[in-house]
Structure 1
């Protein structure tokens, strides 16, 4: 591609005349100096901890001669400088230009919120496919389209990766893509040049606030709002106390859903299964013109909200009630309120709950089944705020009979230090506290102490198959460990 085509609709200045550089051939874009090659353009983006401007010499040594920068700096001899205001925004636009604006050839559904993104995206994908549409998915669990699966470092990949993936989805015949859109992805311009048909807001609570993410809650909320300035139409959870702010600041048309407040799509006559072995719920979705009954294979009000968002989305695309109903009654998402059938006398549930709100929701839901004892295994991610740890510890200390504190992606922090900080919540609590930094041993202890009609919640990892330790992802699977621990217990 010619440089002038790559820079289409981008404002920039250069150390060379436009006539001298516009016909330069560019093979590809690199935003990591290690990926730079001859005839590549290198974009110096500023990340959470790394400034790409410091790696220009490295990219030059690897063959790059055209550099996009936001600092008016000296470059190596023979370099072409493309000076812009924001290299992240420009990376997004150039990537869209490079791959031919693939989102315009797809129906793109973006989902943002503190919790519920993964479950809702999987529900929507299942409904679309049942209705006969080919659909890809991008999110926490990775990238999936057709028979292709890719790992993803972030819930919302970097803009270049997103545009590449979307082009591949078009090539593979996808008609829809359902995308989890994180607050970080929105703030860091990763989705700026994606044409969203729908934006969905599930909920928001204090999370991802810290020196490496959002400085305060307003920044977090405003990042979420950005999706509804990009999307043609928005679907909003009216029950969330910040829904009004999002609606007022949106540029899209809006539909709303709720359980409690008046909305366009409201769940009424909600009933929860009373049998822990058969998790589920039922409700009626009421609009001004319709009343349709649904059954879903997950318990709790949070599952109702996820289902409502999926129903509104499906109805927007004119998918019939029968198709939606048939999907929701059976659909499950790995690591989300997943019942592990490994013991006949007690229940073990796997869930991704890893912050205050999600942990509170899952614990309150499971307590409705009145277990003999509720045993909770939790940890807290390293390099995050003390408040996050305290909030999770407070909930477990208040609501559980037994709590096992263990490691959960400690990264460069000492797991025992995190555990000791969380244990402060248990002073004066009636909850029995067990400390075990080794997550494998902690799960085994949880399995081994189960008595008749007890319920063990393995929280924090869900679908994840790794532990982040000292910057390295090491294979670890809660489900495998629990299954093996149960087999060993029954064998002995």
Structure 2
């Protein structure tokens, strides 16, 4: 059986959304069996086959590290299938990708997350260097590279792509990037073809998870999906792509831009944002949704494997993005106890450590009001009591996304919009 046609996606933010949507789109277009792998587990034809916890228990790795280990699912396919793989920073380490080459490599962005997580990652340039596997592992002569033309760091790595690989770039504007480019023109996702024709693809307003184009990270994700589809189809734009994109809804339990509302008129936006740029962006979206008079409440947390400098810089960057904060801790001593046998020598897990650092730094950087509540469920309960009609509560979900969303539904008395 021939290996599935592999599309690999890397970047700091948006990987899971791009992989999930792209896999659904390609399955609809090709009518072929499709594997996709995200941080949360692996799926075949949209149905979950494994979870994050199962991956950790079996290999000690998150699913997006060495994602090629799930390609064994292709053995059951009657013909060559499709595999869309989220490839995180750990895939550049000793664990690798789990396969030799991919047919399409997509590079989304390079943000300031993970700096200091290991001795080899001390700057954004180091992140770029580590993640260049997405370019260098594209199959020569028949492969395609997709990249964000608005990210200067990524653009600096494009010359490392083999000259035989064809390219599709994407960005907010029509810039002189690659021969083929996907961008936004008058509210429409637009494709500039190799012969310089401009082809309208889909209106931002017709894709629900862009929030009428208000949420810039989702606009970038949509552009990346369209560029990925074009690369998969070797430069061609499937004529039914618009119809497919407008029908796709994000999984409300996926932890990506899940919007809820209760009968009191409070809206809750659940998301997995976990670094400065994304937290600021989701705060801006919440403010746009709140409008005049409504306050934006951020129920936030950060991971334990972040340096004190990184936490301080994140707090400084997001302090004015919310009207008030409720900070909880992933290591709360109740639902999650500290792991005293971590293999990393750089970080320790301590109950309340990260939330204390984050709350202190938010206050020091001018955040109007900061409350610190260790347990996520108690933080949600507190925010639900404080929120008023017209307010928007941004809740940064924990690793157990389903539990986080169910708590939001229960304690706010809210349901999906």
TM-score, length-normalised on structure 2?
0.80
Once the 2 structures are TM-superposed, how far is the Cα of residue 324 of structure 1 from its aligned partner? 3.9
Which among 380, 387, 407 is matched to residue 481 of structure 1?
407
Contact 1:186 1:227 in 2 (8 A): no
C-alpha spacing 1:327/1:364, structure 2 compared with 1 (3 Å): same
Cα distance in structure 2, aligned partners of 1:182 and 1:107: 19
Which among 324, 328, 353 is matched to residue 417 of structure 1?
353
Match of 1:224 in 2: 131
Structure 1 position 235 matched with structure 2 position 146? yes
Cα distance in structure 1, aligned partners of 2:217 and 2:303: 23
C-alpha spacing 1:354/1:148, structure 2 compared with 1 (3 Å): closer
Contact 2:331 2:352 in 1 (8 A): no
Structure number, greater radius of gyration = 1
Q: Which 5+ residue runs of structure 2 have no aligned equivalent? A: 333-337, 340-348
TM-score, length-normalised on structure 1?
0.68
Which among 219, 224, 231 is matched to residue 309 of structure 1?
224
Match of 1:337 in 2: 257
Which among 217, 240, 247 is matched to residue 322 of structure 1?
240
Cα distance in structure 1, aligned partners of 2:244 and 2:64: 32
Cα distance in structure 1, aligned partners of 2:183 and 2:313: 30
Residue 199 of structure 1: SS of its match in structure 2? Answer: strand
Q: Which 5+ residue runs of structure 1 have no aligned equivalent? A: 1-101, 272-282, 467-475
C-alpha spacing 1:166/1:362, structure 2 compared with 1 (3 Å): same
| 251-260 or 119-128, larger mean C-alpha shift | 251-260
Which among 186, 189, 201 is matched to residue 284 of structure 1?
189
C-alpha spacing 1:360/1:145, structure 2 compared with 1 (3 Å): same
Could you report, residue by residue, the CA deviation over 1:430-464 in whole angstroms, capped at 9, with x for unpaired residues? 52111111111001111111101000000143xx3
Match of 1:382 in 2: 304
What is the 5 A alignment of 1:190-205? 190-191=96-97, 193-205=99-111
Match of 2:75 in 1: 170
C-alpha spacing 1:428/1:360, structure 2 compared with 1 (3 Å): closer
Higher normalized contact order (CA 8 Å, seq sep 6+, divided by chain length): 2
Give the number of equivalent residue pairs: 362
Could you report, residue by residue, the CA deviation over 1:14-67 in whole angstroms, capped at 9, with x for unpaired residues? xxxxxxxxxxxxxxxxxxxxxxxxxxxxxxxxxxxxxxxxxxxxxxxxxxxxxx
Match of 2:288 in 1: 368
Contact 1:265 1:308 in 2 (8 A): no
Match of 2:171 in 1: 258
Which among 372, 381, 386 is matched to residue 449 of structure 1?
386
Could you report, residue by residue, the CA deviation over 1:316-359 in whole angstroms, capped at 9, with x for unpaired residues? 31462323443245331421111023445110010000111211
Once the 2 structures are TM-superposed, how far is the Cα of residue 296 of structure 1 from its aligned partner? 1.2
Residue 179 of structure 1: SS of its match in structure 2? Answer: strand
RMSD, aligned α-carbons: 2.5
Match of 1:465 in 2: 400
Contact 1:126 1:331 in 2 (8 A): no
Once the 2 structures are TM-superposed, how far is the Cα of residue 158 of structure 1 from its aligned partner? 5.9
Match of 1:144 in 2: 43
